[in-house]
Amino acid sequence: MFDMIKFYISLLLARSAYAGIKLFSKSSGTSFAGKMVLKFYPDFLSNCRGYINNKFITVTGTNGKTTTSGIISHIIENAGHSVIHNLKGANMLTGVANVFALNLKPFKKFDYAVIESDEAYLQKLYDYINADYLIVTNLFRDQLDRYGELNTTAGLIKKAIDKNNDLKLILNADDPLVASFGKDKNALYYGFEEVEYDCTYNGESHAPAENFNCLCTEALKYKKRFFAHEGHYYCEKCGYKRPKCDYPAKVRVSDNSSEIVLIYNDESYRFTVNLSGLYNAYNALAAISTALELGISADDIQKALDSFKSIFGRTEKKIIKGHKSVIQLIKNPTGASEVLKTVDLKSNIVIAINDNYADGRDISWLWDSDFELLKDAEKSIITSGIRANDMALRLKYAGIPQDKIVVVPDIKDAINLAADTASDSEGITILPSYTALLEINKMKF
């Protein structure tokens, strides 16, 4: 009884804190209330599972967590169910606590929860909540100062999985590390059998790809490689290979959309996703597979995909000073290289790089990202943020002429310059790191 009283007091504290920070515009409000709640009642999250009537779904991985969880949540909601979801991507414990504290009510329950979790915090989340599903999107090198090498990140996720024997895994079969989580577990797999490009760019990238060894230590080989280490791999020594998919699909990637043909229960289903890039096709396939697993019809899934809008810097579209603008988060070599393939080289381009804690202090990833893809940009490229000069140097070595590189450290000034120098018909492409994206989200133009 005492615990429930503390729980209800926590809900009141959260709402009061949120009202205060919004009144004084001191924060975006994605984690502050959660910090207060967990300090007052550390076991707050243990009580939250009881407010979900149906399934508790978690999503983790290096890239695509926010988009994948956003699509899943949108599909569930459009199918007529209530869902609680950390929409803005605050995915550490404080962010998760924040979304529950601000949305739960003593006598109201939700049908589903869809929670994106930081890879390093997943096992901490599972200390408090037994999830029903875990979707793992991919594993790439990311923020080496926080996570270390990939095996470290994989180990953290595996420890989380081992905490819950009833957990059902939905795994990217095309990622050898992710697929390995399914060994001796209750796992389903999704992946692409074929990838076709029908757009102004192709799938080629000069960014370095990870080389993976099998558990037997032999280097993996590939029959098909779609990007980075994603593809159809096999081991010549022990026979380990990409698992057979429960949700196999083919995809045709166009400039601003993808067409996915998925086989499920021996029937073929065609889905159109209004997001650019193969990386977003993977995110959509993960979400579609999860929705089908939940029993949602293909028609309801497509209706939701038709109305889905990009989330917070993930191919987010805005009008800035009358110009169509696209904001694309970049934060690690593979993710940045895939985004760079889709950049409109006729647009005015702003690259805003910070090295705050949430970005990762180590910016060596800039040198492993394929900025050479910007060599044919028609306009000047503006670099901004704390590491504006480092980004400018990287562009110089990528082959962009120095007279086309403009350094404007203040991010708002940089975007204003891009807008003011663009003609009426020209768009703006903004490529920010994470905390630069948070700054942009607060700006008014």
Catalytic sites, residue numbers:
362
In degrees rounded to 5, what are phi and psi of residue 146?
-95, -45
**Tokens (6 digits) for 118:** 């930081």
Residue-level length of the chain: 445
Q: Which helix (H) or strand (E) holds 15?
A: helix 2-24
**Tokens (6 digits) for 193:** 């059998």
Q: Are 46 and 134 in contact (CB under 8 A)?
A: no
DSSP 81-103: --EEE-TT---SHHHHHHHHHHH
304, HSE (Cβ side, Cα atoms, 13 Å): 23
At a CB cut-off of 8 Å and minimum separation 6, what does 420 contact? 321
Scanning 25-168, the segments in alpha helix (DSSP H) are 32-40, 65-78, 93-103, 122-126, 144-147, 150-162
Q: Are 384 and 410 in contact (CB under 8 A)?
A: yes
Distance separating alpha carbons of residues 86 and 35, to the nearest angstrom:
15
Burial tier of 114 (Cβ tally within 10 Å: 0-12, 13-18, 19+): buried
Distance separating alpha carbons of residues 192 and 260, to the nearest angstrom:
9
Distance separating alpha carbons of residues 294 and 264, to the nearest angstrom:
13
Q: Are 408 and 373 in contact (CB under 8 A)?
A: no
Residue type for position 373: L
